[in-house]
Structure 1
Amino acid sequence: MTTKSKIEWTEQTWNPTTGCTKISAGCKYCYAETMAKRLQAMQVKGYENGFDLSILSERLSEPLKRKKPTLYFVNSMSDLFHEGVSDEFIGQVFNVIEQAPQHQFQILTKRAERLAVFFKNRTPPVNAWLGVSVENRNDGLARIEHLRTVNAAIRFLSCEPLLEDLGSVDLNGIHWVIVGGESGVKARPMKPEWADGIRLQCLEQNVQFFFKQWGGWGADGKKRSKKENGRALNGRVFNEMPIHNIY
């Protein structure tokens, strides 16, 4: 089932798998886990297992049915490179992507090592944007090195939820960086200088910068709804995107 998305940097979501397993600090208050359990309670098809991994082969062909050029976020409710997803199924997902050149597909993973191994002897379709999560230094920075080895047309980082100052980040070979604070009842705060430090490095290294949200804590350090906190960083909204074949 493809769904119109409220995520600011995409248009539609496509979830050929659902469910996941927590592996790092950024996973602690996973929004997808909360949503999956809610959808399970509502008896929505595809979420019968809640947040346990489910392979949904019947969803593979969905983007092929849509002719209008669309920006798809693949597996907003899972991780395509989860150890429970076979190489064969991952290959089927990328075959669909290749068969739908009218669309652009954004694939984000925390399992960067497997991403690099999968594409060691493969070339991603030109309309596949490959990204890794970089929420902190300990878990996230090494993922960038794995991503850099993949010959993707667009390589991107999602620094959300940004949990600490990342320090100096080598963005060589990276085309786009998303930054955002955590939302939800148990959201952890993000300091303005952490986000701005990444913005400045993107500017210096000629990388597109997208500030998604403050989340549950505002720039002033006060907790309130993410809508109230908004998306402005230093009084400006940053919606930069890679320009490669978007439409």
Structure 2
Amino acid sequence: MSDGSSIEWTEATWNPTTGCDRVSTGCDHCYALTLAKRLKAMGSAKYQTDGDPRTSGPGFGVATHAAALGEPFRWRHPRLVFVNSMSDLFHAKVPVEFIRRVFAVMEATPQHTYQVLTKRSRRIRRLASSLDWPPNLWLGVSVEDERVAYRIDDLREVPAAVRFLSCEPLLGPLPKLDLAGIGWVIVGGESGPHARPMAPEWATEIRDQCQQDDVAFFFKQWGGRTPKAGGRDLDGRTWDEMPSRVVTAA
């Protein structure tokens, strides 16, 4: 677990699984893949499983970490927690029983709010009815361009308390975005040495659609060589809207 996350829309990260495989163009310059290679070289125990070099890399093979399941019980204060910043909980190599154990931890720690983000929307849709969905779980899908907009339809079939979209890195326009059943949208440009640019109109079009549909809108960054290179202002201001967050006692 890491407190004080640099990710603007969360407060902490929790990685009961690590590792992943690239599945769409949004994965091309994956920060987690690069970081896992570095952590493996540093000897970090969680990152000693190598992935398929065609889609993953050193230290980034999918692995589950049962020891990490106890971490949320030790946090003294309520947190907004990004689950698996270094993985995808719904990767095909993560056993359903382990997903259930992660969900059980969330349900047993209602003082925290958990944010799960995935690109494996088809698997979520298939598993949804077989999982017990805790009320403090927000579920999102990554939507980098129109080619993966089907993930939104899959997400709508899932009984999460909050459903959200992460349009980061936004690599193309998403015109006439259907936000029915969606409670939050994050937009951001790509960062890193090979960052692909985001056209301003792509971001403003999504912002305007959110305003029209009364959906919370969060503008994370313009992107560039570093995450902060282009700043966070959109039309002269920051946009840090969040869904309603319900916190109950443990």
The TM-score bracket by the shorter chain reads: over 0.9
Shift in Å at residue 246 of structure 1? 5.3
Q: Could you tell me which residue of structure 2 aligns to residue 138 of structure 1?
A: 147
Whole-angstrom CA distance in 1 between matches of 2:75 and 2:85:
19
Structure 2: distance between partners of 1:109 and 1:246:
23
Query: CA distance change for structure 1 residues 112 and 234 in 2, over 3 Å: closer, same or farther?
Result: same
- Structure 2: runs of 5 or more not aligned: 50-58
| Distance (whole Å) between structure 2 residues aligned to residue 4 and residue 45 of structure 1 | 22
Give deviations 1:43-76, integer Å, cap 9, x for gaps.
1231122111111111011001113000000000
Is the CA contact 1:2–1:15 (under 8 Å) kept in the aligned structure 2? no
TM-score (norm 1): 0.94
State the partner residue of 2:112: 103
CA distance in 2, matches of 1:121, 1:30: 30
> Shift in Å at residue 187 of structure 1?
0.7
User: One-letter code of the match for 1:166?
Assistant: L
The amino acid that maps onto 1:244 is R
Residue 87 of structure 2 aligns with an amino acid whose one-letter code is S
Q: Secondary structure of the residue that 1:60 maps to in structure 2?
A: helix
Does the 8 A contact of 2:81 with 2:112 survive in 1? yes
Cα distance in 1 for residues equivalent to 2:12 and 2:80: 6
Separation (CA, whole Å) in 2 of partners of 1:108 and 1:30:
14
DSSP-derived class of the 2:115 partner: strand
Give SS of 1:229's match: coil
Gaps of 5+ in 1: 217-223
Match of 1:10 in 2: 10
| CA shift in 2, pair 1:25/1:59, >3 Å | same
Equivalent-residue separation in structure 2 for 1:101 and 1:225 (angstroms): 35
Matched pairs, number = 239
1:221 aligned partner: none
Say if 1:2 and 1:63, in contact at 8 Å, map to a contact too. no
Query: Which secondary structure does the structure 1 equivalent of 2:100 belong to?
Result: helix
Please tell me the residue identity of whatever aligns with 2:151: R
Q: CA RMSD in A?
A: 1.2
Q: Pairwise mapping of residues 68-217 of structure 1 onto structure 2 (< 5 A)?
A: 68-139=77-148, 141-216=149-224
Instruction: Give 1:58's aligned residue.
Output: 67
**TM-score, scaled relative to structure 2:** 0.93
Contact 2:113 2:245 in 1 (8 A): no
Q: Identity percentage over the alignment? A: 56
What is the CA–CA distance in structure 2 between the aligned matches of 1:227 and 1:103, rounded to whole Å? 28
Structure 1 equivalent of residue 232 of structure 2: 231
**Aligned counterparts of 1:225 and 1:76: Cα–Cα separation in 2:** 18
